[in-house]
Chains A and B, each alone.
Chain A
Amino acid sequence: MKSAFWLAGAAVLALANPAVAADSIKIGFVSTFSGPTAVIGNDMRNSFELALDHLGRKMGGLPVEVIYEDDQQKPDVGKQKVEKLVQSDKVDFIAGFIWSNVLLASLKTAVDSKTFLISANAGPSQLAGDLCSPYVFSTSWQNDQTPAAMGLYMNQKGVKSVFLIGPNYAAGKDMLAGVKSTFKGEVVGEEYTVWPSQLDFSAELSKAKASKAESIFVFYPGAAGVQFLNQYAQAGIKQQIPLYTAFTIDELSLPLQKDNAIGVPGAQEWVNDLPNEENKRYVADYRKKYTGLRPTYYGAQAYDAAQLINSAVVAVKGDTSKKDEMKAEMEKANFKSLRGPFKYGNNHLPIQNFYLQDVVKDADGALALKTVATIVKDDQDRFHDKCPMK
């Protein structure tokens, strides 16, 4: 009885699918559009919309319909939204995802329904390793990669010891593990803070100071990065213990961090001044379309996600029922990424460069991020061996 029910359901889906594919490409976009981190979601949406503008709002000759859903930065809400997108909206692709814990909660729903999921930011280690899937691609990185690049840079600088501070959730643990994977000096302390509610880091800063470490590494995305830099400067540690970061200083937090961010290095796979043509066009058009705003790496990754989806849809001429062909096309990374060199590993995570970024005053006198050096070339995450896909 039960199997008959499922068969009937499958038949209905099979009948319904070509009809959907015929008139438009449906994309669900899950990100955070409310609360203090909504600025990140807005930047991703802005960039995704800009990519659609650049594509003439069509993919493979079909109009594109995007359904934006707010995950409220909560894993349970994110999962519900993905269920809605898969079951009632029947989207062809789901993109977005800032937060690793939201992505991990939503992953099974998308994969089980064989809906393509493009992570435009979150990169939990599980996604790169044993939870990798033919239906999941990333246009960002695996969480460990960026801090691992920072660890390499700290080796270059001859840093002997570090005190690690990060938030207590999936990405926070990956980030600190990432630094530890490459940093050759001693890790004298490691502190996790309650995420996202803890905003006062006085206890952790006091411990870092008392540990006599030569350096501090932190990962605090969004507003928490502003708070951490404020408190780090106020505690007077800035003159004593230099700070190294990943995903803590970006174009959204910089206007609030102001001078506190000067001289604090970060690692990143995309910086606004990368000299390729696509990137110049993206940054210029973004600043033209959204006056007063500057794009961030979150936005650049969302832009790439739209381009990746477009490459797949164009390859099958809009027939999104041809999932195998779309998967094969996406594995080629047949689009011009804003970050320049970009190819996929066996686990559908990018193999890419990581850059050292610094805060400088630009021509308008505003603070801006600038590429200083390439820390590592063609870097692949260290979990790809655990992924069963070859």
Chain B
Amino acid sequence: MLLVVEQFLNGLQLGLLLFLLAAGLTLVFGIMDLVNLAHGSLYMMGAYFAATFVAWTGSFLGGIALALGATLLLGIVLEFVALRHLYGRDHLDHVLATFGLILFFNDAVRLIWGPAGLALPLPPWLTVPIQIVPGVFYPAYRLAIIVVALAVALMLYLVVMRTRLGMLIRAGASNREMIGALGINIKLLYTLVFGLGAALAGLAGLMQAPILTVQIGMGENILILAFVIIVIGGIGSIRGAFVASILVGMIDTLGRAFLPDLLRKILSSAAASTAAPALSSMLIYLLMAIVLVVRPEGLFPANRR
């Protein structure tokens, strides 16, 4: 029973982390109609900035704050220099150009930081396990991820639902031409949205960095998951991204945790331990396929015309 609680937390933590990545992706895709494959590169840059700044400043929180700012800035510059010229063009152009950006960022990182990768060590107060209920100890850092990601989700909700900027974002997701026609500075809005998306991706990357290593191409695997999430959740919908992220995180973790034992009941032990990882990594794609059949618009489609 205690194990179930712990695996549940593991799933929640993965889901929330994926949400940070997917939220930025879905905003950019939904509002700007831009397919941004380089979103994973921003995730990677967030991690590299954090590892560098934490080493420079010697302070974990200070380094992370600097890294967030740097990723936000990088996002804005990237939008200004490269992506601005892609609006209104075919999706294939977006895919080609942003795939090029992935290669650019990977090689830029190789040139600046070298091929070996970096480590982002945690301060001691984050490395201790915390007792959450009697008998269940959970890594403090993973708890911190859950708390930060929930706070960011709440903040996003408030910004999108309660502020003027949020109203524009929602209007942009519903009808792009109309808000332009109403005299809104759509260029500025796009730059802001892209910067916000970049900062969210950077936050996901730098929070993942102490758990994983900081390395070239780290954003590519996880980007696929983020795309699956926005397809499941409904493109352009932050609420959809939230629900789908938690779903995917839970299914992935609980599948890995409990599928081998379930399979062992029907298969031989050796066959089960081989089949289970393969099967559990398929589960989320199965979910996506089912959602696409039953609700092709996703679970919570943004209203668009």
Q: Which A residues have a C-beta under 8 Å from some C-beta of B? A: 35-36, 38-39, 42, 168, 173, 190-194, 197-200, 202-204, 206-207, 209-210, 223, 226-227, 230-231, 233-236, 252, 255-258
Is A202 a contact partner of B10 (Cβ separation < 8 A)? yes
A223 to chain B: closest residue by CB: B213
Main SS at interface, chain A: helix
A252 to chain B: closest residue by CB: B116
- 13 example contacts (A-B, Cβ-Cβ < 8 A) are as follows A35-B216, A36-B216, A204-B256, A206-B7, A210-B3, A223-B117, A223-B213, A230-B211, A231-B211, A235-B129, A235-B139, A236-B137, A258-B121
Residues of A near B260 (CB, < 8 A) are 191-192
Chain A nearest CB from B220 CB (Å) reads 10
Is A203 a contact partner of B7 (Cβ separation < 8 A)? yes
Is B217 a contact partner of A35 (Cβ separation < 8 A)? yes
Q: How far is the CA of A257 from the CA of B119 in the complex (A)?
A: 8
Q: Does B182 contact A (CB under 8 A)?
A: no
From 256 to 273 in chain B, residues with beta carbon under 8 angstroms from any chain A beta carbon are 256-257, 260, 269, 273
Q: How far is the CA of A234 from the CA of B208 in the complex (A)?
A: 13
Q: A168-B277, A173-B274, A206-B3 are in contact. Are A223 and B142 (CB under 8 A)?
A: no
Residues of B near A209 (CB, < 8 A) are 6
Is B118 a contact partner of A206 (Cβ separation < 8 A)? no
Return the 8 tightest CB-CB contacts between A and B, nearest first: A236-B129, A202-B10, A210-B3, A203-B257, A256-B119, A168-B277, A234-B139, A206-B6
Interface core residue of B119, B128, B253 (most chain A CB under 10 Å): B119
Q: How far is the CA of A191 from the CA of B280 in the complex (A)?
A: 13
Is A206 a contact partner of B211 (Cβ separation < 8 A)? no
Is B117 a contact partner of A168 (Cβ separation < 8 A)? no
A193 to chain B: closest residue by CB: B277
Q: How far is the CA of A234 from the CA of B139 in the complex (A)?
A: 6
Point out the residue from A36, A197, A210 that lies within 8 Å of B281, measured CB to CB: A197
Q: Does B212 contact A (CB under 8 A)?
A: yes
Point out the residue from A35, A36, A190, A236 that lies within 8 Å of B128, measured CB to CB: A236
Q: How far is the CA of A203 from the CA of B276 in the complex (A)?
A: 13
Interface contacts beyond A223-B117, A230-B211: sample of 13 additional A-B pairs, CB < 8 Å, sorted by A? A36-B117, A39-B115, A190-B269, A202-B13, A203-B253, A206-B7, A206-B257, A207-B3, A210-B3, A226-B119, A252-B116, A256-B116, A256-B118
Q: Does B122 contact A (CB under 8 A)?
A: yes
Is B217 a contact partner of A36 (Cβ separation < 8 A)? yes
Q: A226-B119, A234-B142 are in contact. Are A168 and B278 (CB under 8 A)?
A: yes
A235 to chain B: closest residue by CB: B139
Chain B nearest CB from A33 CB (Å) reads 9
Q: How far is the CA of A198 from the CA of B280 in the complex (A)?
A: 11
Q: How far is the CA of A35 from the CA of B109 in the complex (A)?
A: 12
Interface core residue of B7, B14, B218, B256 (most chain A CB under 10 Å): B256
